[in-house]
Amino acid sequence: MQGQNQQQAYDRGITIFSPDGRLYQVEYAREAVKRGTASIGVRTADGVVLAVDKRIRSPLMERDSVEKIHKADDHIGIASAGHVADARQLIDFSRRQAQVNRLRYDEAIGVETLTKQVTDHVQQYTQIGGARPFGVALMIAGVSDGEPSLYETDPSGTPYEWKALAIGADRGDIREYLEANYDEEMTLEAGVGLALKALESVAEGGLTPEGVGIATIPVEDAEFHELTDAETEAYLSDLDLLATDEDDA
């Protein structure tokens, strides 16, 4: 609706609305999210799954240093897409909030409560000048009071709750796959399978245990659990998703 020149006039800072009421810097921050590799979340009846593409640039890089799934508290995991250094700030913020909650109220922070504290923090960076928005989206997954839940925070500071969700690269294609195949009553194991199949649907040449990160928070124990390579390989093998050639790893 706006030509290129028009748009440029209103995208130089977060304190400026465009004539059609848009905040371009926030929209550009969303582009930074799309530049990140894909992350997927799936909520099932008995837990939540987070799955991420953690293929690395070089065989010399330590796989574990590609941090894309983070434990925020015993019962909450967070996956990110976008500007990695920004993600780390929000992860740290989340961990501090979780700790403060335990100290102050002597109980685990609710998944929704944490999400909203994060989005409040993020929104400030979209309204007050002198800084830029966070170029990152998070999926916050956890179990509170026996209920699994999965939230998204975006660069505008809006929280959304999802049954299943993809952020980062190929977000559109993966979401279509999830919409077509999601079943609210599936088991946690089936959820892991769905996430892997969705990830594979946009990967060329299949997946490798090393190129995928998976974490679950089962309702049963409400404990964040990151899968070992062996566990991941078992899933991939069972689902026939193993790459036949490791060139892409």
Judged by beta carbon, residue 95 or residue 225, the one nearer a second copy is 95
Cα distance between residue 194 and residue 188, in whole Å: 10
Evaluate whether 91 touches 229 at the Cβ level (below 8 Å).
no
Judged by beta carbon, residue 32 or residue 38, the one nearer a second copy is 32
- Residues between 91 and 130 with contacts to a second copy, criterion CB under 8 A: 92, 116, 119-120, 122-123, 125-130
Least gap, CB of 152 to a second copy (angstroms): 9
* DSSP classification of residue 53: E
Can you spell out the DSSP letters for 167-212?
ESTTHHHHHHHHHHH--TT--HHHHHHHHHHHHHHHSTT-B-GGGE
Q: Count CB atoms within 10 A of the CB of residue 19.
A: 10
Is 61 a binder of a second copy (CB under 8 A)? Answer: yes
Is 33 a binder of a second copy (CB under 8 A)? Answer: yes
Evaluate whether 125 touches 131 at the Cβ level (below 8 Å).
yes
Cα distance between residue 118 and residue 183, in whole Å: 29
Least gap, CB of 44 to a second copy (angstroms): 13
Structure tokens, 222? 């409400």
Is 32 a binder of a second copy (CB under 8 A)? Answer: yes
- The contact pattern for a second copy, residues 168-207, with x = CB under 8 A and - = no contact, is -------x--xx--x-------------------------
Contact region for a second copy (CB under 8 A) — 46-54, 93-101, 155-163, 240-248? 155-163
Evaluate whether 39 touches 166 at the Cβ level (below 8 Å).
yes
- The contact pattern for a second copy, residues 127-146, with x = CB under 8 A and - = no contact, is xxxxxxxxx-----------
Structure tokens, 97? 């909030």
Judged by beta carbon, residue 175 or residue 197, the one nearer a second copy is 175
- Count of residues that bind a second copy according to CB under 8 A: 74
Is 89 a binder of a second copy (CB under 8 A)? Answer: yes
Q: Which of 22, 55, 95, 225 binds a second copy (CB under 8 A)?
A: 22
Evaluate whether 49 touches 62 at the Cβ level (below 8 Å).
no
Judged by beta carbon, residue 15 or residue 228, the one nearer a second copy is 15
Is 65 a binder of a second copy (CB under 8 A)? Answer: yes
Is 11 a binder of a second copy (CB under 8 A)? Answer: yes
Cα distance between residue 230 and residue 199, in whole Å: 18
